[in-house]
Homo-oligomer: A and B are copies of this chain.
């Protein structure tokens, strides 16, 4: 395709402006992260067009999602970002404009989350656009997934299910048309753009016995946390925080409650803490308790009757 950046131009014009000092101007083989007394937290997520996002989503939103799902993992471990390394396999029809918009999205998030680009690799692919981001952070205390204790209380941040419902609306325009414009916009936006809860990292470091981000669905992710911790959990489903928009969608189609609880892409924080922990007003919601029984997560309705889900979590695999 004529008039496209060469690899050197791409680095100099598109990516170098996003780069932090550790990137050494993207002029070296590797990034240099100065030593510090805190341990390093490292996480990676790969996103494929048509699998993790729609290929025609805005380029800036694709970039932001790819970065944010990684920052969400850092947040769950109580870590503050150092920066990120980007691998980008560009589909054959990429244009300079598309790439400029992608980089602008990354740049905006790199600034607002204080997570600069520190290294990367760009290549061409005959397949779909594929993005792998490795995020590095530092944590005063690494908050493990394995650490929930019987008697602990289960909390989540934000609201659950919005992104999964947003995806359901993308797949079912008839359903989408029955929602109020405001609810529709809210759910679609929450699918497009996760909000990594980096603001909660200090609270998690100080108080959480175990934590993870909710990426594959609350029910399945809590089951994973229980399994590695060797404990069970009971969740009061009516306590799970839902947005107004999610309530509106579920009122229209009650089976969407299961979608909300198992659908994934929330990127909220699920964590456990001792019973005497009292969270600051409005930050997180108590949804259940940990017990010493079977290493599984049970969701109950208002009548304390167990909910049976068709599947516990979403899998792209």
CA A89 to CA B85, docked complex, whole Å: 17
| A217 CA / B92 CA spacing, docked (Å) | 24
Q: When the two chains form the complex, which single residue of B24, B118, B130, B315 contacts A125, counting CB atoms closer than 8 Å?
A: B130
Q: What is the interface of chain A, defined by CB distance below 8 A to chain B?
A: 6-7, 10, 22, 24, 27-48, 50-52, 73-74, 76-77, 79, 85-89, 118-128, 130, 132, 134, 136, 142, 144-146, 212-213, 228, 315-317
Q: What residues of B have a CB within 8 angstroms of the CB of A76 in the complex?
A: 29-30
Q: Report chain B residues within 8 Å CB of A44.
A: 85-87, 119-121, 132, 134
Nearest-neighbour CB distance to chain B for A121, whole angstroms, equals: 5
How far does the Cβ of A103 sit from chain B's closest Cβ, in whole Å?
A: 16
Q: How far is the CA of A41 from the CA of B33 in the complex (A)?
A: 6
A142 to B43, CA, bound (A): 23
- Which residues of chain B come closer than 8 Å to A47, judged between CB atoms? 123
A40 to B28, CA, bound (A): 14
Chain B residue, CB-CB nearest to A75: B29
A249 CB → nearest B CB, Å: 27
Supposing A85-B134, A125-B48, A127-B48 touch, asked if A33 and B28 sit within 8 A by C-beta, the answer is no
Query: Which residues of chain B are near A79, meaning CB under 8 Å?
Result: 30
7 closest A-B pairs by beta carbon, nearest first, are A127-B127, A132-B132, A30-B43, A46-B87, A87-B132, A134-B134, A33-B40
C-alpha gap A278/B283 in the complex (Å): 63
Nearest chain B CB to A78 CB, angstrom units: 10
- A118 contacts which chain B residues (CB < 8 A)? 42
Determine if A88 and B46 form an interchain contact, defined as CB atoms under 8 angstroms apart.
yes
The answer to whether B88 and A28 have CB atoms under 8 Å apart is no
Q: Is the CB of A29 within 8 A of B132?
A: no
Decide: B32 and A35 in contact? CB cutoff 8 A. Answer: no
